[in-house]
């Protein structure tokens, strides 16, 4: 059977980066199990277990990366024994005959499966955190570039007071900064299950060390150190608490909401023809409508963000139904949801990097839209200017009201342009301010402190947040697979 005759997840076959796919690959999983067995043996030998020889340690060290043939052997063995960990214990032992008798000594399956998962979760965060840093950095540069460009604001997707394009982008960035904070917290909170035995009591290791509690505690600590962790969970059942998976996936689900909101904004702006995502020279927008420039990258973000958000419920429900020291109904779903969550987050960040590196802005379209709405927004300024010329506010308000309704009818009923200003210029009542109308309609006077807010936010909040990650910031172009 060809690979083309089998289902493969698009997360790995179509979208995700090679580095993220490698973390959750079978080779990395089984090689990590071997690394765990090696470090357990090293720690046990250091603490006085004479049954573990130097030859065994050396032999195990030479076979840490599992080969294709060894994976095939282990797969065949699993079909016989119906136990994946024991199949790999046998296969590793065949490659390391000096260590065959001491591999997995005192351990339960969760020593390798759970500790490996925690390593994968930590390493996966180490891939996506730098990508998020670069998305924030690129959007911050974009925000500064367009901090002064007035745009029509929207509330309820109805025209509202003006803002600037840069200020709008800071709303995306602020949420991404919170996501970065959450990513780092979650990553640094991940500990190791450590060496706990079958129900978490360490009974097997206490037997190995003939009742020496201090050595069992030292073993737990030493294995944790050898694997590069600062923290080991002080108590566990057979597994580490599945509540940890909730803490790990919650920031990813929250980020999914940020990504969806940002991509949706860009999709709406693309419809308004104010902003477009990158569109390659030979890209086809539609198989039928050749003129189309569909926002397919942002649509992909929205699609996958919904998937990522839904995976959080897997962790919540799984943690809720764990019985006593453990039950096995967590196994299959975690094999799916944990890799899927990080593969999806990785795809979203790679796509956002691509989008944020090539956003196209159309200032003339933005200017035209402002001009179509600004006359209505400027009415208060016009009233104030007329009052300064000794007109009655109530009289001016009534004149503006009548002309505004006439102009609105032209727009809504006749499909014409907003001609309120032309009506004001033709009405002798407003003659005292005719010469001031251009100044009263200057868009930059309607954006408040938006430019100053952008500058302060980027130069202070963003700069301080990214300072610990400055070594990750780069301008590498991100190409999408499809």
Distance CA(39)–CA(226), nearest Å, equals 6
Question: Which is catalytic among the residues 286, 303, 313, 444?
Answer: 286
> What pTM was computed for the model?
0.91
SS3 155: strand
Q: Is the pLDDT of residue 108 over 50?
A: yes
Mean per-residue pLDDT, 24-44: 98
Give the model's confidence band at 375: pLDDT under 50 very low, under 70 low, under 90 confident, else very high.
Answer: confident
Domain 379-440, what fold?
Answer: Ribonucleotide Reductase Protein R1; domain 1 (1.10.40)
Domain 110-365+462-472, what fold?
Answer: Fumarase C; Chain A, domain 2 (1.20.200)
Q: What is the pLDDT of residues 441-470, one digit of tens each?
A: 899 999 999 999 999 999 999 999 999 999
Q: Write down the pLDDT at residue 315.
A: 96
Q: What is the pLDDT of residues 143-155, one digit of tens each?
A: 999 999 999 999 9
Q: Pick from 130, 174, 151, 146: which is nearest to 359 by CA? A: 146
Q: Is the pLDDT of residue 293 over 90?
A: no
Give the model's confidence band at 8: pLDDT under 50 very low, under 70 low, under 90 confident, else very high.
Answer: confident
Q: Which residues pair with 361 in a beta bridge?
A: 275
DSSP 460: I
Asked if 260 is an active-site residue, the reply is no
* Token pair recorded at residue 37: 């067995």
Which residue is listed with tokens 């779903």?
Answer: 333
> Could you tell me if 91 and 73 are in contact, meaning their C-beta atoms sit under 8 angstroms apart?
yes
Q: Write down the pLDDT at residue 291.
A: 46
Q: Is the pLDDT of residue 281 over 70?
A: no
The pLDDT > 90 percentage for the chain reads 83
Question: Which is catalytic among the residues 2, 50, 54, 156?
Answer: 156
SS3 365: helix
* Structural domain spans, the chain: 14-105, 110-365+462-472, 379-440
**Mean pLDDT (the chain, rounded):** 93
Give the model's confidence band at 287: pLDDT under 50 very low, under 70 low, under 90 confident, else very high.
Answer: very low
SS3 361: strand
Q: What is the pLDDT of residues 259-270, one digit of tens each?
A: 999 999 999 999
CATH 1.10.275.10 for the 14-105 domain, yes or no = yes
Which residue is listed with tokens 């590793």?
Answer: 92
Burial of 404 (0-12, 13-18, 19+ CB in 10 A): middle
Asked if 156 is an active-site residue, the reply is yes
Which residue is listed with tokens 């004001």?
Answer: 424
Q: Which of 151-165, 373-387, 457-471 has the lowest mean pLDDT?
A: 373-387
Q: Is the pLDDT of residue 284 over 70?
A: no
> Could you tell me if 404 and 396 are in contact, meaning their C-beta atoms sit under 8 angstroms apart?
no
Q: Write down the pLDDT at residue 7.
A: 85
Distance CA(63)–CA(96), nearest Å, equals 8
Q: Is the pLDDT of residue 136 over 90?
A: yes
> Could you tell me if 372 and 417 are in contact, meaning their C-beta atoms sit under 8 angstroms apart?
yes
Q: What is the pLDDT of residues 393-410, one digit of tens each?
A: 999 999 999 998 998 898
Mean per-residue pLDDT, 349-359: 95
- The string of DSSP codes covering 216-228 is HHHHHHHHHHHTT
């Amino acid at each position: 059977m060809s690979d083309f005759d089998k289902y493969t997840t698009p997360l790995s076959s179509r979208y995700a980066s090679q580095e993220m796919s490698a973390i959750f690959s079978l080779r990395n999983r089984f090689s990590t199990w071997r690394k765990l067995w090696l470090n357990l043996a090293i720690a046990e030998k250091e603490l006085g277990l004479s049954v573990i020889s130097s030859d065994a340690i050396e032999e195990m060290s030479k076979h840490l990366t599992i080969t294709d043939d060894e994976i095939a052997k282990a797969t065949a063995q699993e079909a016989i024994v119906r136990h994946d960990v024991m199949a790999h214990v046998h296969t590793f032992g065949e490659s390391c005959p000096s260590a065959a008798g001491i591999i997995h000594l005192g351990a339960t399956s969760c020593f390798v499966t759970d500790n490996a998962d925690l390593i994968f979760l930590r390493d996966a965060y180490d891939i996506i955190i730098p990508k998020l840093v670069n998305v924030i950095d690129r959007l911050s540069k974009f925000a500064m570039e367009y901090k002064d460009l007035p745009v029509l604001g929207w509330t309820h997707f109805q025209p509202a007071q003006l803002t600037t394009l840069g200020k709008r982008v800071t709303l995306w960035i602020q949420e991404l900064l919170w996501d970065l904070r959450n990513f780092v917290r979650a990553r640094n909170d991940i500990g190791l299950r450590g060496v706990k035995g079958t129900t978490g009591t360490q009974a097997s290791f206490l037997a190995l060390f003939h009742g020496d509690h201090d050595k069992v505690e030292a073993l737990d600590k030493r294995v944790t150190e050898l694997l590069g962790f600062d923290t080991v969970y002080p108590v566990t059942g057979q597994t580490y608490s599945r509540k940890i998976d909730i803490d790990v996936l919650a920031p990813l689900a929250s980020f999914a909401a940020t990504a969806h909101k940002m991509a949706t904004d860009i999709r709406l702006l693309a419809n308004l023809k104010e902003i477009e995502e990158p569109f390659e020279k030979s890209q086809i927008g539609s198989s039928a409508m050749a003129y189309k420039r569909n926002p397919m990258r942002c649509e992909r973000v929205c699609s996958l963000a919904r998937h990522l958000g839904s995976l959080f419920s897997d962790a919540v429900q799984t943690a809720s139904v764990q019985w006593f020291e453990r039950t096995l109904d967590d196994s299959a779903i975690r094999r799916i949801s944990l890799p899927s969550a990080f593969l999806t987050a990785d795809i979203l960040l790679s796509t956002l990097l691509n989008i944020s590196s090539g956003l196209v802005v159309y200032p003339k379209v933005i200017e035209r839209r402002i001009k179509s709405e600004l006359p209505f927004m400027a009415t208060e300024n016009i009233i104030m200017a007329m009052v300064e010329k000794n007109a009655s506010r109530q009289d001016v308000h009534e004149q503006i009201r009548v002309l505004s309704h006439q102009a609105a009818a032209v727009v809504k009923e006749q499909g014409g342009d907003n001609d309120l200003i032309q009506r004001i210029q033709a009405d002798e009542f407003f003659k005292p301010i005719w010469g001031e109308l251009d100044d009263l309609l200057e868009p930059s006077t309607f954006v408040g402190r938006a430019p100053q807010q952008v500058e302060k936010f980027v130069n202070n909040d963003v700069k301080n947040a990214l300072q610990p990650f400055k070594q990750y910031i780069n301008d590498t172009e991100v190409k999408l697979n499809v």
